[in-house]
């Protein structure tokens, strides 16, 4: 019903679980992920197992080795249940086999592009999922499926053996039910990889005993004004004020975010140039105006001068963003409706998305896809807020996320599937 796995790997799962049981029984414990089941987004390579990128032209693609993330989780003793769905070539929640569904309301999509990891984890089919984000693909399905999703700092997690969409933006991270679980997964994934040209050698630490009172949390009050801000978002802000941290009002400067946002279009068109020139992009299921086939073609008209000037400007915005985040330990706000999602993806700062509460909404259609049964009925579905920090401060994000979950008291509720 949820269409959240492209491929299930029971043989591998049983073998890895058996090994974990034997190792733990003999006293060899690899760590907190030893024996824990997970699903990995089907754009990370798995040896001798199809890795399809969710797209028709690559349905028969079978790698000859595991991607770095799969290797690291294997070394940590985690148990791979299978490959979770993604929107074709990491766009949306529609893949060659259908549309991945939200377990809170199966009449709507799970959002994308890490749709399968979001849906499967929320439904309790696995303990955590591995997602990727270029521009919202961890944040959006974490929001839709009611998860705590962590998009790490750019360069922290190796992308070797993962589909390249945009080399200067692509990031890999965990999607879990609780904020603190992300620290356990990220600790296993963190590390420098000389084969990833964007990899950065930076350690990861998380102190589960650090009091929130040690931290300063900032928010821009304009983000909480207006009729489009949900009651859950405002209630989450009040909960933040009760945590015991120092809370400050700050103002996001007027940064030229739209002017630096051309990288995704240009780099993705370059990454899939062969697909475009071969005409095999016609095989992709989504052919609407803003879907990849047309976006790739349009990006070929971007001038080299304009692209280079945009990248020069992006460098300046990175410095400005660093100064903005240096004011506080954590920045807090709605997951959507502010410039923060785009800004931090282009500047590399990490983000933790946390369940804030619930709303009653009619089934939502991502990018207006007609397969969603938008029948006008109201469904109770989760909604989120997000936490951002300066580069490589994920431990502080988890500290505040854990405290906020405890204060709000909404994170333990699970979806009920009929």
pLDDT per residue rounded down to tens, the chain (418 residues): 999 999 999 999 999 999 999 999 999 999 999 999 999 999 999 999 999 999 999 999 999 999 999 999 999 999 999 999 999 999 999 999 999 999 999 999 999 999 999 999 999 999 999 999 999 999 999 999 999 999 999 999 999 999 999 999 999 999 999 999 999 999 999 999 999 999 999 999 999 999 999 999 999 999 999 888 999 999 999 999 999 999 999 999 999 999 999 999 999 999 999 999 999 999 999 998 889 999 999 999 999 999 999 999 999 999 999 999 999 999 999 999 999 999 999 999 999 999 999 999 999 875 556 555 567 889 999 999 999 999 999 999 999 999 999 999 999 999 997 6
The residues carrying an active-site annotation are 41, 113, 137
Predicted local distance difference test score (pLDDT) of residue 289 = 86
Residue 156 burial class via C-beta count within 10 angstroms: exposed 0-12, middle 13-18, buried 19 and up: buried
Would you say 128 and 32 are in contact if contact means Cβ atoms under 8 Å apart?
Answer: no
Number of C-beta neighbours around residue 265 at 10 A: 17
Residue by residue, DSSP assigns 338-392 as STHHHHHHHH---EEEEEEEEEEEPPP-GGG-TTS---S--EEEEEEEEEE-STT
Angle between helices 340-347 and 304-325 (to 10 degrees): 100
Closest CA to 164 of 45, 80, 254: 45
CA atoms within 13 A on the CB side of 377: 9
Question: Phi-psi category of 392—alpha, beta or left, where left has phi over 0 and alpha has psi -120 to 50?
Answer: left
Alpha-carbon gap, residue 116 to 109, rounded angstroms: 10
Predicted local distance difference test score (pLDDT) of residue 318 = 98
Number of C-beta neighbours around residue 21 at 10 A: 12
Residue 226 burial class via C-beta count within 10 angstroms: exposed 0-12, middle 13-18, buried 19 and up: exposed
């Amino acid at each position: 019903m949820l269409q959240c796995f492209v491929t299930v790997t029971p043989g591998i799962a049983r073998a890895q679980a058996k090994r974990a049981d034997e190792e733990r029984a003999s006293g060899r414990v690899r760590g907190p992920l030893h024996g824990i089941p997970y699903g990995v987004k089907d754009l990370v390579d798995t040896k001798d197992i199809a890795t399809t990128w969710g797209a028709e032209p690559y349905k028969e693609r079978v790698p000859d080795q595991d991607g770095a993330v799969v290797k690291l989780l294997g070394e940590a003793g985690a148990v791979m249940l299978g490959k979770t769905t993604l929107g074709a070539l990491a766009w949306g929640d529609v893949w060659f086999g259908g549309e991945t569904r939200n377990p809170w309301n199966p009449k709507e999509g799970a959002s994308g592009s890490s749709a399968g990891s979001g849906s499967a984890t929320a439904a309790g089919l696995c303990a955590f999922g591995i997602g990727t984000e270029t521009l919202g693909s961890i944040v959006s399905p974490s929001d839709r499926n009611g998860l705590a999703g962590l998009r790490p700092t750019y360069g922290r997690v190796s992308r070797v053996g993962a589909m390249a969409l945009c080399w200067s933006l692509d990031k890999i991270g965990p999607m879990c039910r609780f904020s603190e679980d992300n620290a356990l997964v990220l600790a296993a994934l963190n590390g420098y990889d000389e084969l990833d040209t964007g990899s950065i050698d930076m350690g990861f630490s998380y102190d589960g005993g650090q009091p929130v009172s040690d931290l300063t949390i900032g928010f821009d009050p304009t983000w909480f004004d207006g009729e489009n801000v949900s009651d859950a978002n405002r209630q989450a802000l009040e909960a933040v004020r009760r945590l015991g941290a120092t809370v400050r009002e700050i103002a996001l400067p007027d940064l030229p975010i739209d002017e630096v946002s051309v990288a995704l279009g240009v780099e993705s068109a370059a990454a899939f140039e062969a697909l475009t020139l071969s005409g095999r992009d016609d095989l992709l299921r989504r052919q609407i105006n803003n879907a990849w086939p047309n976006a790739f073609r349009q990006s070929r008209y971007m001038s080299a001068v304009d692209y280079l000037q945009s990248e020069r400007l992006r460098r300046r915005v990175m410095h400005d963003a660093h100064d903005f985040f240096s004011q506080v330990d954590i920045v807090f706000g709605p997951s959507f409706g502010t410039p923060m999602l785009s800004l931090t993806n282009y500047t590399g700062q990490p983000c933790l998305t946390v369940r804030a509460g619930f709303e009653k909404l009619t089934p939502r259609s991502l990018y207006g896809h007609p397969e969603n049964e938008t029948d006008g009925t109201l469904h109770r579905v989760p909604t989120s807020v997000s936490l951002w920090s300066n580069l490589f401060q994920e431990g502080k994000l988890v500290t505040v996320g854990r405290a906020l979950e405890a204060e709000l008291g909404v994170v333990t509720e699970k979806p009920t599937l009929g």
